Structure 1
Amino acid sequence: MAHYIALLHHEDDAYGVVFPDFPGCVSAGDNFEDALRMGAEALAFHVAGMQEDGEAIPAPRSLEQIKATGDDWIEWDNALVTLIPLLPPPDISERVNVTLPKRLLVQIDAISRNRSGFLAQAAAEALRQRSS
């Protein structure tokens, strides 16, 4: 999974996020954690849009490489530098083959009309609990 450098700036009651590798990809959040989450979502959608338009996705650059370019639009003063992973946009699904015990499938079928939807919802809930 690729990780891209993001610069966060704290202004007033919010954090702004910019990606030097993707001019024009910006986001914001009410707090640091929210800015990271919103930044990851903005990056995913920005890259998805580039892919739809047939544009090349740049390889992640190091901090030294970014600073060496001297891009004048990048605001370095008081910036918090972090890495944000490039995740697929949340609405993109991928077909997978999963083996489950028959007993578990019977229980799922008894309460849900859609196994995939049920399993996706259960996985999302498990991930939320683990990240809390």
Structure 2
Amino acid sequence: MKYPVIIHKDEETGYGVTIPDIPGCFADGDTQEESILNIQEAVELYYHGEDISEPPAASQMEDLLNSELYTRDSFLYLADIDFAFIAPKTQRINITVPEYKLIRIDRAAKDKGISRSAFFVDSAERLIRNLSVAKTVGRRQKKSVLP
């Protein structure tokens, strides 16, 4: 899942990463690249031993631009954080798909280099995220027409 993070550089230190959607979770590194690579590990360590059933919702980058966490000396980055570690157990499901659609799905999954199951899950997550964004945009539009 993609999460906006704020990367900042202090004068005499390396780079720090604030993850606004996970308050209290931070990553760092000597370089920008290293700090970005350390985000996944920081999240896993933060949640180690915690009992959570699903990842937190991701903020919109636009909302963070007005946040007190975002300053002139920082920049936003969209980090891909894999939350598979919170519920590593998988469940087998049975679905019915028209054969011609399954062929198209299998081709697309192969092109991406992932399994059919991963393709279904990734597609469902993307749809859920897009629906959430559309719902948020719809609310913002409604608010903007109110006096």
- The interval holding the TM-score normalised by the smaller chain is 0.5 to 0.7
Measure the CA separation in 1 of the matches of 2:54 and 2:9: 31
TM-score with structure 1 setting the length: 0.53
Indicate yes or no: 2:3 matched with 1:8.
no
Superposed, 1:80-91 pairs within 5 Å as 80-88=75-83
Which runs of 5 or more structure 1 residues have no equivalent in the other structure?
96-132
Measure the CA separation in 2 of the matches of 1:16 and 1:93: 29
The alignment yields a C-alpha RMSD, in angstroms, of: 3.0
Q: Which of structures 1 and 2 has the larger relative contact order (alpha carbons within 8 angstroms, sep 6+)?
A: 1
CA drift at 1:16: 0.5
Give the letter for the 1:40 counterpart. Q
Give the letter for the 2:3 counterpart. Y
Give the letter for the 1:41 counterpart. E
Of all paired residues, the percent bearing the same amino acid is 24
Superposed, 1:87-102 pairs within 5 Å as 87-88=82-83
Q: Secondary structure at the match of 1:21?
A: coil
Aligned residue in 2 for 1:24: 24
CA shift in 2, pair 1:22/1:32, >3 Å: same
Give the letter for the 2:9 counterpart. H
Q: Secondary structure at the match of 1:9?
A: strand
Which runs of 5 or more structure 2 residues have no equivalent in the other structure?
91-147
Indicate yes or no: 2:57 matched with 1:59.
yes
Alignment match of 2:74 (pick from 79, 83, 87): 79
Measure the CA separation in 1 of the matches of 2:45 and 2:57: 17
Q: Secondary structure at the match of 1:54?
A: coil
TM-score with structure 2 setting the length: 0.48
Give the letter for the 1:57 counterpart. P
CA drift at 1:13: 4.0
Asked whether the equivalents of residues 44 and 89 of structure 1 are also in contact (C-alpha less than 8 Å), the reply is no
CA drift at 1:25: 0.5
